[in-house]
Amino acid sequence: MQKLIECVPNFSEGRDANIIRQITDAIESAEGASLLDVDPGATTNRTVVTFVGTPEAAVEGAFRGIQKAAELIDMRKHKGAHPRMGATDVCPFIPVSNVTWEEAIICAKQLGQRVGEELKIPVYLYEKAASNPLRVNLATIRAGEYEGFSEKIKDPAWKPDFGRASFNQKSGVTAIGARAFLVAYNVNLNTKTVRRANSVAFDVRENGRVKTEDGTPTGKPVLDANGEPVRIPGLLKHVKAIGWYVEEYGIAQVSINLTNIDETPLHAAFDACNESANKRGLRVTGSEIVGMVPQKSLVDAGRYFLRKQNLSEGVAEEELIEVAIRSMGLSELKPFNPQEKIIELKMESAASKKSLLKLNLRQFCNETLSDSPAPGGGSVAALIGALGVSLGGMVANLSAGKRGWENQLSYFSAWAVKAQGLKDEMLLLVDEDTAAFNKVMAAFALPKGSAAEKSAHTAAIQSANKEAAEVPLRVMETASKAYELLAEMANKGNPASISDVGVGLLAVHACIEGAAMNVRINLPGIKDEALKSALLARLDKLRTESESKFKAIHQIVEGKLG
């Protein structure tokens, strides 16, 4: 699995498209760096850029972007609504796939050293890369902003981690760090008043507000025993928020950073703002995501809003995303395109664009019927299994919505959610089986002139044959999990849908038997007798268990059909 890390540099230019393009072109010029999103803001005069790559590519792409920003942006002329301290204000690295925190921190330090030494820009390490506990919080480093740093940097306590302790007037200073995924999220209010937006922000953010003697924002602060202001905590943990006015939209917003979306998800922030706004006579009119968001955030939000509506959560992820978009008004200010705003969807590779799953039913059948050997029986078996699981999930959803069965909603909804996950696993195996077959064909096509080539040819064939046998075994194992779902639906599901359970059962059984054939046809090509024996043992066990479960559920279905 390839190492993949995300980098989200924020540049202090959001109005000049030409400057923004030159910066992003510089990032993309680094081999292996893939640009995902460019999100400029005119009012903030700031652009959030998101790109991914291997750790090496991410460091190189970030350096080139910072270098170009230093060339094109003059902070002495910069004005904007967002707090900032440099041409590249902040540049975090975020682990995405197969990257440890240690590796992300190394990326931050490597980049910081290059920026400090080669570009003469003072660099402060923050969050998990911070060398000083006082610099973990970005807001602490940024305090005083660009205008205050000419004096701040002279303080020994604010000696940069990299670069000289002298202020770079043109480029300012830069914070580079390693952090967990942060979602920048703005909630729209039906007011233009920043003061009212700040009231909502103070209600929801973790840091809350300063307690005053008379309870008013302008009252005398209440001090603790150490003489520090006492704070009233806000509703949500891991949330930073302020209110601001956005001229281009003509509204005030609560601008939120969600720093731990596992603990405080997107929908929790939306609902908290909604609750606060309603208490203050305001109304939330929608929201927007700045930059990109993990797919899980919107899937979880979709499920949350379906629960609030007493509806089954067991719908496709595409529908869950649409529910989240509508429920949080993510398209109110400008269209929210999931393919552009969701990381996983944006990162679909060229290979995925050739996926069999991209074909419609007629195209899939035509491709199967053609003289090409793939897709073949293995992919078709996996698809049949996915259809069988889908029928079981359909019965769960129908049962969840049955009138008079409202007290069983959560039970059937949970089964429908399981069915969705299982269906998605089966669909992935449709492509994996074809890919495994193609690897076998590619291995046989390798040259075998020299002794070295013959050795490589043989090794490649053995590796490909092993995968070609293991993938249909995974199809069998995955499809077998559907029996539990089908048994529950046969016993407890809507009786009017018993025939659907029966068809789903036959499909799952056919899937397992079909996949077994694909295992058996690939076993003779494996020379490792121990491995072959182990694969055969797994095969026999899965088939035996499948027959037993199939017969038991089939008997229930037949009994209810009459």
**Catalytic: 161?**
no
Q: How far is CA 204 from the centre of its chain?
A: 24
Please provide residue 435's backbone torsions phi and psi, each rounded to the nearest 5 degrees. Answer: -65, -40
Across 328-347, average pLDDT? 89
Helix and strand totals (H; E) in the chain: 19, 13
Q: How far is CA 453 from the centre of its chain?
A: 42
| Dist CA 504 CA 395 (whole Å) | 10
The confidence band for 215, taking pLDDT boundaries of 50, 70 and 90, is confident
Cis omega (within 30 of 0) on the bond before 375?
A: yes
Domain 183-332 is found in CATH 3.30.70.670: yes
Q: Which CATH code for domain 356-561?
A: 1.20.120.680
* 393-440 pLDDT per residue, tens: 999 999 998 999 999 999 999 999 999 999 999 999 999 999 899 898
- Contacts of the segment 278-281: beta carbons below 8 A, 24+ positions apart: 280/196, 280/199, 280/200
- Bridge-partner residues for 284, per DSSP? 189
Domain ranges of the chain: 4-178, 183-332, 356-561
| Dist CA 462 CA 278 (whole Å) | 66
pLDDT for position 349: 52
* 248-274 pLDDT per residue, tens: 899 999 999 998 888 999 999 999 999
* 184-210 pLDDT per residue, tens: 999 999 999 999 999 999 999 999 998
pLDDT greater at residue 355 or residue 347 = 355
> Which superfamily, per CATH, for 4-178?
Formiminotransferase, N-terminal subdomain (3.30.990.10)
Q: Of 82, 238, 267, 509, which is the active-site residue?
A: 82
| Dist CA 207 CA 241 (whole Å) | 9
| Average pLDDT over the chain, rounded to an integer | 93
Across 535-541, average pLDDT? 95
Q: Of 300, 431, 433, 500, which is the active-site residue?
A: 433
In terms of DSSP bridges, do strands 251-258 and 239-246 run parallel, antiparallel, or are they unpaired? antiparallel
**Catalytic: 371?**
no
pLDDT greater at residue 283 or residue 372 = 283
Across 208-216, average pLDDT? 85
